[in-house]
Structure 1
């Protein structure tokens, strides 16, 4: 079991796109003044970052070197970090969980060994660089399994459980005497009580040694705010685990609710109010088990810029101030 736990409430952001954006010339501003985006987050009470990592990406930059450099920069500023293993060369999510190209002809046993060795060596690289993450996701949105077809659910639960165990064992081995980071199992069922229960009830039959539960919650996909509240309450009652909304977002200009009403207007103020309400739900979860919230992603560019924290001119939006009041005294 994990020996080092943190009771700190996580005010977090997935900043996996941020170095790429800055390297490509994106300029972020507050009150019209150009400033590093991490500095803006830090001064508005953000204390955690989340970084995804791909095995051998060819389209996106999120390899070991890129991710380690981002983690070093954030750690030097005082952020804690959540490392998100996708176990793929590109996006892994409920609709596709591709096996890394180099592993695609492996037997199940070879895949298990590869997951263990890759995870061990990656965590060791972070340890050796003095940037050990405080928390690690073994897989990303794994409600339908991982590394298809071998670990695809619901058909291959035994294989999936073995892959998850290999990842967790790799985190422990890579920690090499240091406290093991918290282990998160992350699914995409933020507003779905039945699906969350089915997944974690089944997972429990394999005696998987994990610490916290992560949920994605995008209201246009995963239910209402009341659904989220109900699910967090039910999850905590059932498993007595700490829970995080580890991915959430809302648009500051219309995009998802053009043909039906959303819970808030898709406007800068509506985006702010959405985050404020989701945070309230997490903080009010029973027994203090709601441990944090992560935005996906403040610095996103291109077609999804409307889900970020910055407008088309790079100016930070009102959403940045949601947590300011928690730092006042």
Structure 2
């Protein structure tokens, strides 16, 4: 028990979280937020990716309710309607690219230890948890799916083993803390494949991509047999992207449990209502075509867009009506003040929640 207490105290000091002393009969920390309030953390997932949180806390960012009272961020998000947390994992973030290229990541943020720290905090607030493996030292998305530097010279068989080993190592560290994981993403926004060039589906290496996905899938099931494995791509409103990728995965024997999506309307140039409707229609079509559930893993729009609350409410309402839509996650809602150049959070520039959170309280 003393070991757990020391870890919690160290984490609190490092991250700026508002932990208090542990109960002598429990290894869980006590949070000051609304201890007598009951929270429903079941059912439709209303989630937040807060992977930047510990780095923001280290930089001195604070989080406030609408009245300006300070709160620990995950506790505040729970009060604002969230019941699930998503956390990304990078292999060796100290190998990130130069700051001039954007999103330089010094100091190991989003490595195994950082993810365990955040997962532990989320777990002790009753959150359900999603782990998002990028299988890269830094951001993985449709335009950049680079292998970790340490994996650069591996053969393809060795690369599959590295995927399995990395997945196993991180999930084992999380499980060792008694934390349950409900969903695991095997790759992030893998519309063009992952771990390029070996797994470049867009270059015809669809069979390789399927084998890499399956290596991650099998590793997940070894540690968390009940966890749902997600294959996640962007532009949820574009059915052709999904049909091409998932038809290929199916033909090549790739494994998945859930189809994950991203959607980020640009309201100056796009009609968000049409994008929402197209995405909802795509969800229904994919459920029927592949007989697997779907989930919105990343949803965002500019925090100061005058119709932001309407956008989120519209999407959440329609997604909940789909029997096999498991939930909706918004991406880094706690970001504010132009953190890392990102402006699609749900807090205003003073660190207070916007009305868009109302969509997650319903």
Q: Give the TM-score band, short-chain normalised.
A: 0.7 to 0.9
Answer yes or no: is the 8 Å Cα contact 2:206–2:252 preserved in 1.
no
Distance, in Å, in 2 between the alignment partners of 1:162 and 1:47 is: 33
Distance, in Å, in 2 between the alignment partners of 1:67 and 1:23 is: 15
Distance, in Å, in 2 between the alignment partners of 1:29 and 1:189 is: 32
1:321 is displaced (CA, Å) by: 2.0
1:219 aligns with 2:265: yes
Aligned to 1:203: 249
Q: Of the candidates 58, 70, 87, which is equivalent to residue 23 of structure 1? A: 58
Counterparts of 1:218-257 in structure 2, within 5 Å, are: 218-220=264-266, 224-253=275-304
Distance, in Å, in 1 between the alignment partners of 2:175 and 2:290 is: 31
Q: Of the candidates 200, 218, 222, which is equivalent to residue 169 of structure 1? A: 218
Higher relative contact order (CA 8 A, sep 6+): 1
Aligned to 1:100: 148
What stretches of structure 1 of length at least 5 have no aligned partner? 1-5, 254-265
Distance, in Å, in 2 between the alignment partners of 1:7 and 1:75 is: 13
Answer yes or no: is the 8 Å Cα contact 1:29–1:315 preserved in 2.
yes
Distance, in Å, in 1 between the alignment partners of 2:292 and 2:60 is: 42
TM (norm. structure 1) is 0.87
Answer yes or no: is the 8 Å Cα contact 1:214–1:244 preserved in 2.
yes
Q: Of the candidates 351, 354, 361, which is equivalent to residue 314 of structure 1? A: 351
Aligned to 1:263: none
1:89 aligns with 2:130: no
Question: What count of residue pairs does the alignment treat as equivalent?
Answer: 301
Aligned to 1:258: none
Q: Of the candidates 42, 57, 69, which is equivalent to residue 93 of structure 2? A: 57
Distance 1:90 1:243, change over 3 A: same
Equivalent position SS for 1:213: strand
User: How big is the alpha-carbon RMSD for the aligned residues of Structure 1 and Structure 2?
Assistant: 1.8
Aligned to 1:40: 76
Distance, in Å, in 1 between the alignment partners of 2:164 and 2:57 is: 33
Distance, in Å, in 2 between the alignment partners of 1:235 and 1:296 is: 23
Answer yes or no: is the 8 Å Cα contact 2:264–2:299 preserved in 1.
yes
Aligned to 1:189: 235
Answer yes or no: is the 8 Å Cα contact 2:48–2:332 preserved in 1.
yes
TM (norm. structure 2) is 0.79
Q: Of the candidates 165, 183, 187, which is equivalent to residue 135 of structure 1? A: 183
Equivalent position SS for 1:247: strand
Q: Of the candidates 75, 78, 83, which is equivalent to residue 123 of structure 2? A: 75
Equivalent position SS for 2:172: helix
What stretches of structure 2 of length at least 5 have no aligned partner? 1-40, 95-103
Equivalent position SS for 2:140: coil
1:173 is displaced (CA, Å) by: 2.4
Distance, in Å, in 1 between the alignment partners of 2:123 and 2:244 is: 37
1:7 is displaced (CA, Å) by: 7.7
Q: Of the candidates 150, 169, 172, which is equivalent to residue 121 of structure 1? A: 169
Distance, in Å, in 2 between the alignment partners of 1:48 and 1:113 is: 30
